[in-house]
Amino acid sequence: MRIALIACSFLPSTGGAEVVVHSLAQEWGKQGHEVRIFNWVSSEATHPEATYSVRRFRLLRGAPRVGYHRFPWGWYTRSDLRKQLKQFGPDCMSVHMAYPTGYYLDGLLPDCPHVITCHGSDLTKFDWGFRQKYDIDSILRGALENCRGAIAISSFARALIEELGVSQERIVDIPNGVDLERFRRASQFDLKDNFGLDQRKRVILSVGREHPQKAYAAGLRAFAAVVDDYPEAHYLLVGKGTGVNQGLCDELKISDRVTFCEGLYGEDLVGVFQQADLFFSPSIWEMMPLVVLESMAAGLPAVVTNISGSQDLIRSGENGLVVEPGDIDGMSEALGQILGDDDLRKAFSLSISESSEEYSWDRISRIYLGACFGTK
């Protein structure tokens, strides 16, 4: 079967949606399907083990400023995409982001079934989302109602899609996945040696770029509340821009207990997940955080906030602890509870590793095909 994936950006650009598109394409390629990714960033596969091909479609300059759907910007891109898709001749299409790519596909190839996966910035009402910037609720509703299936990657995503007025029978619940084999294969990276940490340190790990939604300032305040009781605890934040929190660390007098790493990738990042002791996500908003799934695959017990995605993945008291976003006292109490109880930490680690089995990309990719296209 020929499968087309349509996305905004793609590798080498990195982000949650790019990882999802790559992972689905990779699995479908392994399963014997002919897969091609269409996007507006890359014209060739940059991943060394790619089982798919990549094509770039055209985007007129100025589209992000005025709106991707406005004439002539939307018409121009849709025309180029239609031409390229007809040349490929897909049997089905997996579209990522209801806007703008879902809008582009709406009515483009009526005889070719397609599903649309929403990833966050197309649904969120926060200032950084497309809905606030372009007032596109009717466009989103039309695109999602006219596809074979509107994929909700979390319970909160489903609620937002329902709120748009999309019919219940159109919505399909399919979470993101994780490469279990990759996160369980021993990495040669030595976390403590690389960051100059004493071998007795217990590392609390957060991963993700600096952004208001990540709420790292609240996380650092929660960590500051436990450092006196747990002198072996050390907080490692990995992600672009996280170093802007250095001033807060100085203010909280925890600079010697916190390490910022602006970039760590590939197998080195896998090694960090494998060798940390506890994963911590203080975010105030996510859709379905891949970093939580990755920490699960590595067997890391987790402290997360009660937000979209995390609340679906972590069962509080069973494989981690869930606290309310912004609740610094609750976060610090949860961190201390896991840091101070070796048996609890080991029990959470075993349980969360078992939980991750549900989210293998092989399984998730087959659910996509079965639920949405009637094949396997």
Local confidence pLDDT in tens for the 376 residues of the chain: 999 999 999 998 888 899 999 999 999 999 999 999 999 999 999 999 999 999 999 999 999 999 999 999 999 999 999 999 999 999 999 999 999 999 999 878 878 999 999 998 899 888 778 998 999 999 999 999 999 999 999 999 999 999 999 999 999 999 999 999 999 999 999 999 999 999 999 999 999 999 999 999 999 999 999 999 999 999 999 999 999 999 999 999 999 999 999 988 889 999 999 999 999 999 998 889 999 999 999 999 999 999 989 999 999 999 999 999 999 999 999 999 999 999 999 999 999 999 999 999 999 999 999 877 777 6
pLDDT for position 159: 94
Establish whether domains 2-177+360-373 and 181-358 are of one fold: yes
pLDDT for position 376: 61
Which tokens is 272 given? 């960090």
Residue 197 sits at φ, ψ, to 5 deg, of -100, 145
Q: How far apart are CA 21 and CA 3, in angstroms?
A: 12
Which tokens is 362 given? 């092989």
pLDDT for position 280: 98
- Per-domain residue ranges for the chain? 2-177+360-373, 181-358
Radius of gyration from C-alpha coordinates of the chain: 21
Q: How far apart are CA 288 and CA 286, in angstroms?
A: 6
Class of 2-177+360-373 in CATH: alpha beta
Model-wide pTM > 0.85: yes
Task: Identify whether the C-beta of residue 109 lies closer than 8 Å to the C-beta of residue 6.
Answer: no
Task: Identify whether the C-beta of residue 105 lies closer than 8 Å to the C-beta of residue 99.
Answer: no
pLDDT for position 307: 92
Which tokens is 70 given? 């406005």
Q: How far apart are CA 341 and CA 238, in angstroms?
A: 25
Q: How far apart are CA 259 and CA 242, in angstroms?
A: 10
Class of 181-358 in CATH: alpha beta
pLDDT for position 349: 96
